Amino acid sequence: MLLQMKTSRDLYYAGELVEVDKNTAAEWIAAGLAEPAVCPECGAQLEARGWGAVCPECGNRKWESIA
């Protein structure tokens, strides 16, 4: 699941998009460390593609960070 960090942790910095497994995502969201990365235009859950992200609703739009 693609998350956006709300605070810096380990190797990640606040605002960075990070792909983690579902269990880790649930832990980080519950702890307030991160939130689901969503498309700034339509609100759909973004999907990780390489170093960026793609919105499955809008097509090939990519962002390295949506902070």
Nearest to 51 by CA among 8, 16, 10, 27: 16
Residues 6+ apart with CB under 8 A from 24: none
Could you say whether residue 41 binds Zn ion (CB under 5 A)? yes
Could you say whether residue 37 binds Zn ion (CB under 5 A)? no
Residue number of the CB atom closest to Zn ion: 39
Find the binder of Zn ion among 3, 5, 17, 39 (CB under 5 A): 39
Whichever of 24 and 65 has its CB closer to Zn ion, that residue is 65
Contact 43, 49 (CB under 8 A): no
Output the smallest distance, CB 7 to Zn ion, in A.
25
